[in-house]
Amino acid sequence: MKKKVLICYDDPGGGLAVSSLIPELRKNKSLELKIYSGKLSIKISEKINTVRIDSFISREKAKMIIDKFLPDLILTGTGGGNTEQALRNEAYKRDIKSIVVLDSWKDYSRRWLYSSYDLKDMKDKICVMDELTKKEMITDNFSKENLIVTGQPYLNKIFNKDKNILKKSFLKNQILFLSQPLKIIGINDYKVHPFEVLMNAIRQLADIKEEKFKLTIKLHPSENLSDELREIVRKNNSDKVEVKFAGKGITLKELIKDSETVIGYNTIALFEAKAMNRRTISLNVVPVNKSLTASMEKAGIEIVKSGEKIILNSLLKEKQSVKKANLFKGGIANCVSLILKELSLN
């Protein structure tokens, strides 16, 4: 009889990490998969047979899903809603095995915000990216017995795939800005919007180089275009710096391919840009965990403090975008191995 694995992911970060495991899991004929994906992960799930699910579900809905499929194990990401945790809560009550794939180096405890059990009583096995992340989570009161260092599956996938993509030419002086809701990255109060600081630096860059720059803004999937952001664009759109918002139909990958430089905050998309060998800059607007800093540096992402002069000087350096080989290997194989081990299939 096949072992049943219920898979659920909601937001893009978790969706990319968890969905990276699905091709390998599908190769195993001893497994039967049932996959639920959230609205924010629609693009990720286009080629995967999934069932759409809301970011927030009731306890009764979670119970119904578990009753219908009767999984031997559930595999989830850690989205901002309660859906993945609602399924983990139901699994906890029934003593169903649970594996959680962590996708980023921050907000560890908050990812269990909707948990019906205390961290000290947790049964979830958590796939974490590295030893430094594990240490940080132990400091956050997670039990070391629950933390398995596997590597990050999505980074494993994108840093070790077809290298032909690196031969694609980009558009000179084309900059891509990866926007995020400021509250998500931990900014609740500010005098000047970080994007306006960036725009001021790019405008000075265009004056110094006496060249035209084009900047495209890609909104985060959960972000609504604010009047403030729209006004910043209106003020700064000029003959020297052309600023526009990315169209809804164009993918992140297409935007990165066209861009010479990709700038953002601390999003996983910066790793995707670096994997495609683009110059990649993370604006350090809030304190981040040492594990995230170390991983960005490992990937070759430039970390730049916010400030017009600092950003300008960094852009003037024209650092070479050299992608290191064989980075972040093992994440997929290690996570799949853990799943099979929990199911007694290896």
User: Which DSSP symbol is given to 19?
Assistant: H
pLDDT tops 70 at residue 150: yes
Q: Return the pLDDT at 164.
A: 46
Half-sphere exposure of 192 (CA within 13 A, CB side): 11
Tell me how far CA of residue 253 lies from CA of 131, 145, 164, 288, 338, in angstroms. Answer: 30, 37, 14, 26, 30
Domain 164-316 has CATH 3.30.70.360: no
CA distance 70 to 65: 8
Q: Return the pLDDT at 326.
A: 75
Q: Return the pLDDT at 41.
A: 85
Q: Return the pLDDT at 147.
A: 98
Question: Residue 197 burial (CB < 10 Å; 0-12/13-18/19+)?
Answer: middle
DSSP 108-169: TGGGGTT-SS-GGG---EEEES-HHHHHHHHHTT--GGGEEE---HHHHHHTTS-GGGGGS-
pLDDT bin (cut points 50, 70, 90) of residue 322 is: low
Q: What percent of the chain has pLDDT over 70?
A: 96
pLDDT tops 90 at residue 197: yes
Q: What is the pTM (predicted TM-score) of this model?
A: 0.91
User: Which DSSP symbol is given to 29?
Assistant: T
Q: What percent of the chain has pLDDT over 90?
A: 81
Sheet holding 51-53, edge to edge: 51-53, 31-38, 3-9, 73-76, 97-101, 125-128, 147-149
Q: Return the pLDDT at 163.
A: 54
Among the residue ranges 73-77, 168-172, 199-203, 297-301, the one predicted with the least confidence is: 168-172
Q: Return the pLDDT at 162.
A: 58
Q: Hey, how many other C-beta atoms are within 10 angstroms of the C-beta on 95?
A: 8
Interval 214-263: pLDDT, tens:
999 999 988 999 999 999 999 999 999 999 999 988 989 999 999 999 99
Query: How confident is the model over 196-203, as a mean pLDDT?
Result: 96
Residues 61 and 115: beta-carbon distance below 8 Å: no
Query: How confident is the model over 28-57, as a mean pLDDT?
Result: 91
Point out which residues pair with 264 in neighbouring strands: 178, 282
Q: Are 3-159+329-342 and 164-316 in the same CATH fold?
A: yes
Residues 101 and 335: beta-carbon distance below 8 Å: yes
Interval 84-129: pLDDT, tens:
999 999 999 999 999 999 999 999 999 999 999 999 999 999 999 9
Which two three-digit tokens encode residue 136? 């940080």
Report the b/e string of 310-323 with b at 16+ CB within 10 A.
ebbebbeeeeebeb
**Residue 309 φ/ψ, nearest 5 degrees:** -65, -40
Tell me how far CA of residue 84 lies from CA of 6, 58, 100, 245, 267, in angstroms. Answer: 11, 11, 9, 32, 21
CATH code matching the domain that covers 3-159+329-342, chosen among 1.10.3720.10, 3.40.50.2000, 3.50.50.60, 3.30.110.30: 3.40.50.2000
pLDDT bin (cut points 50, 70, 90) of residue 43 is: confident
Domain boundaries, the chain: 3-159+329-342, 164-316
